[in-house]
Structure 1
Amino acid sequence: MSGRRIYLDRGIGETRGVVTLDDRPERLLIRRDGAEPRLILGARAAARVQSVEPALATAFLDLGDGAQAILPFKPGGRPVRGAMVEIEIRAEPRRGKLAIGRLIGEAAGAPRLLKAAPDPLEALRAFARDAEVVEGREARDVADEAEAEALEVLHPLPGGGTLAIEPTRALTAIDVDLGERKGSDAKRVTRQANLAALKEAARLLRLKGLGGLVILDLVGRGHDGNALMTAARAAFGPDNPGVAIGPVGRFGTMEISLPRRIRPLAELLCREDGALSDRTLAQRLVRRMQAEGEANPGGRIEAVCDPDVADVARPLVEALAGRLGARFIITASVGRGRDALEVART
């Protein structure tokens, strides 16, 4: 089936939403229980100006309950320390960086949430307004596949070759590799690979939630700059406003600047060392327990996992029991690998 569809997985402890384009995941939204509501994209809050840094044209804001954000300002629009302002979150926090707010106007009272961010379905509707919405087990499977793809580094290109996407602190580097891509006309082969890479890179960057500076290392020499620029504008058009694309440079690279909006998925799902977080593993464990419980109504389900994962999973299992009955057991196994999640009917 072509076109865009929305999949909404209303799980235990989190809601995951996916927008697919021609049956391939294009966007993945994960909203976990316990997330700070003031820092979600689109939320509006009353904030107090804590400090102002004129050299950076930035004000630091207190949103209440420990939540913080920054507010860029233009010359002549410098806020006053201690003032109350209303802001909307236009970029969620990421590792080592605060959320970024957009000034709405003045505010009164204490720092607080004024308006919650759009719920997951409403947020997904912004990208696929008239798309069909699919829920249930099919949505869970699609979200699982999208989550797995979002965490990959190497991605196959249609027609052959690979795309490697590696974020760094400063930028995201993308390498195009011909691999086993075949063809008698080398120039045509490289041109097709580069055009396919631009289209895939745009989809995958949206899926991974990556923004900022992107450097795309193209294959071959003597690139058709006009054709590549046209293809890049079409591929990254859905990310506007805020996209800037540079011409192909002398070293065969293209620079693209993308707006940062959501927190990168890898940061949400993984620890700083790149391993899956205890929360992510706990969510996966509970999904497997839920699937087993739904497949075996009335059956007793036991999960065995690492102790740290078990500690995070227990409140989720209690919530699952509230939905499907008190028949779920979780057992911590010392010395067990973190990724070794075992679920079985007992």
Structure 2
Amino acid sequence: MTGKPHAKPAGAKPPSERRAYLYKGVGETVGVVTLDGRPERLFVAWPSDDPLDAEGVRGVARIKTIEKTFNAAFVALPGGQDVILPLRPDMPKLVEGGLVEIEIKTASRADKAAVARFVAEGQGEPRVLEAAPTVEERLRQAVKAGSPTTGDKALLAVEEAEADALTTVFALPGGGDIAVEPTRALTAVDVDLGGRESGDSKRAARQANMAALSVGARVLRLKGLGGIVVFDLVGRGHDGQALTTAARNAFASDNPGVGIGAISKFGTLEMIVPRRAPPILDRLLTRNGAANPRYVARRLARALEREGRADPGGRLTARCAAAVAEAFAAELDAGVAERLGRRFVIESRSDWPVDRLEVSAT
């Protein structure tokens, strides 16, 4: 005897869908995870990356110094940078010059060293035991089923994800928006009700705050932001239990390590989100917030390949800022020539902004 399938409750939220995209371009391998069609994660690898400065690297490291004041040790893998190893009471006593087995928990960012976790006392000689997961492996960890989409669709997903990562203000479903702005101390997420339509202002605020937690979690993962995160909620008289539950659900995929505080009397929700990788803006922008010439050079390589496919026999001319031309010549010229043949020229313009590009065929 067969029964009818169970109907979904009215108003039930459909299950989330994640998809993976993998783009292998000249001088870059980029992976994108989308959540219900919007970019959620962006994994980037360049050939010049330090293979020892990445989450997941395991090895036997030498203890260089022990800083009791900070309750941490500085250790290093062979050929690697100094890594911070926090000390815990349950760890064996470490001595300078000794060995310890570690796993990189957080890669370095800006002026801050990478952070490792203690695995065991070290044996033998300092060495790397396990490399970091590749971009494709990270995609498969995030999206369990199926192979990632490649080709033009993957490049489109990459460029959409990069554009989102560079954005500050994000619309909320139903109206309103959030602004996501990192500082040295924390990341602030400001919720704005905007033009959300509702006859009940309290209900509108509750819906906006719920949506803000969901969108904010996705955006923070996309941007690679973590540490202390503060949501400045809208309205008053918040349902603390409902919002805290919504926050736990929104940030569930960031566990282990997520901590959520109570809503303050000022209407802010504070949480801690573990850092897994450096912020993606560290690649896309320079420290002063300008476009990174190395990233723009990769956009130039993509544009040349696109134009080259559209006009297989044409001669290609690319115009760009001087800094972009220098980065292209140093890192990408040979790779693009291998794919397209030597049928392109790069014209350097000293008066152009870094993010301006033009590619044409003749």
TM (normalized to structure 2)?
A: 0.92
Cα distance between partner residues in 2 of 1:2 and 1:104: 35
Give the conservation status (yes or no) of the 8 Å contact 1:14–1:30. Answer: yes
Give the conservation status (yes or no) of the 8 Å contact 2:32–2:157. Answer: yes
Cα distance between partner residues in 2 of 1:294 and 1:46: 47
**CA 1:197–1:296 in 2, change beyond 3 Å: closer, same or farther?**
same
**CA 1:234–1:2 in 2, change beyond 3 Å: closer, same or farther?**
closer
Alignment of 1:276-295 (within 5 A): 276-295=291-310
Residue 207 of structure 1 corresponds to 222
2:338 to 312, 322, 325: 322
Cα distance between partner residues in 2 of 1:48 and 1:2: 44
Amino acid at match of 1:31: A
Amino acid at match of 2:216: A
Which deviations, in whole Å up to 9, do the C-alpha atoms of 1:32-61 show, x marking residues without a partner?
111000011111233211100112111111
Residue 219 of structure 1 corresponds to 234
Q: CA deviation at 1:269?
A: 1.5
Which deviations, in whole Å up to 9, do the C-alpha atoms of 1:261-319 show, x marking residues without a partner?
11111112111111111111111111111111122213221211111110101231211
* Paired residue secondary structure (2:133): coil
Residue 92 of structure 1 corresponds to 107
Residue 324 of structure 2 corresponds to 309
* Paired residue secondary structure (1:67): coil
Cα distance between partner residues in 2 of 1:46 and 1:331: 48
Matched, 1:34 2:54: no
Give the conservation status (yes or no) of the 8 Å contact 2:139–2:148. Answer: no
**CA 1:301–1:214 in 2, change beyond 3 Å: closer, same or farther?**
same
Q: Which has the larger radius of gyration?
A: 2
Cα distance between partner residues in 1 of 2:254 and 2:69: 30
Q: CA deviation at 1:66?
A: 5.0
Alignment of 1:145-156 (within 5 A): 145-156=160-171
Residue 11 of structure 1 corresponds to 25
Q: CA deviation at 1:131?
A: 4.1
* Paired residue secondary structure (1:109): coil
Alignment of 1:114-129 (within 5 A): 114-129=129-144
Which deviations, in whole Å up to 9, do the C-alpha atoms of 1:133-186 show, x marking residues without a partner?
100111001010001101111111111111000000110011000111111111
* Paired residue secondary structure (2:77): strand
Amino acid at match of 1:214: V
Q: CA deviation at 1:235?
A: 0.5
Matched, 1:158 2:173: yes
Cα distance between partner residues in 2 of 1:132 and 1:20: 14
Cα distance between partner residues in 2 of 1:336 and 1:230: 49
Give the conservation status (yes or no) of the 8 Å contact 1:47–1:64. Answer: yes
Specify every segment of 5 or more residues in structure 1 that has no aligned partner in the other structure, as ranges. none
Residue 55 of structure 1 corresponds to 69
Residue 210 of structure 2 corresponds to 195
- CA-atom RMSD in angstroms: 1.5
TM (normalized to structure 1)?
A: 0.96
Cα distance between partner residues in 2 of 1:301 and 1:69: 45
Matched, 1:173 2:188: yes
Matched, 1:341 2:357: yes
Cα distance between partner residues in 2 of 1:99 and 1:186: 46
* Paired residue secondary structure (1:223): coil
**CA 1:198–1:223 in 2, change beyond 3 Å: closer, same or farther?**
same
Which deviations, in whole Å up to 9, do the C-alpha atoms of 1:74-130 show, x marking residues without a partner?
1253421111222211111111111111222304334x4332111111111111111
Cα distance between partner residues in 2 of 1:119 and 1:275: 28
1:274 to 285, 289, 293: 289
Give the conservation status (yes or no) of the 8 Å contact 1:5–1:132. Answer: no
Q: Quick one: percent identity of the two aligned structures?
A: 48
Q: CA deviation at 1:64?
A: 3.4
* Paired residue secondary structure (1:50): strand
Cα distance between partner residues in 1 of 2:283 and 2:323: 18
Greater CA drift, 327-336 or 193-202: 327-336
Greater CA drift, 41-50 or 31-40: 41-50
Residue 67 of structure 1 corresponds to 81
Amino acid at match of 1:146: A
Cα distance between partner residues in 1 of 2:352 and 2:170: 31
Give the conservation status (yes or no) of the 8 Å contact 2:51–2:132. Answer: yes
Amino acid at match of 2:160: E
Give the conservation status (yes or no) of the 8 Å contact 2:41–2:223. Answer: yes
Give the conservation status (yes or no) of the 8 Å contact 2:61–2:75. Answer: yes
Cα distance between partner residues in 2 of 1:25 and 1:82: 45
Alignment of 1:132-151 (within 5 A): 132-151=147-166
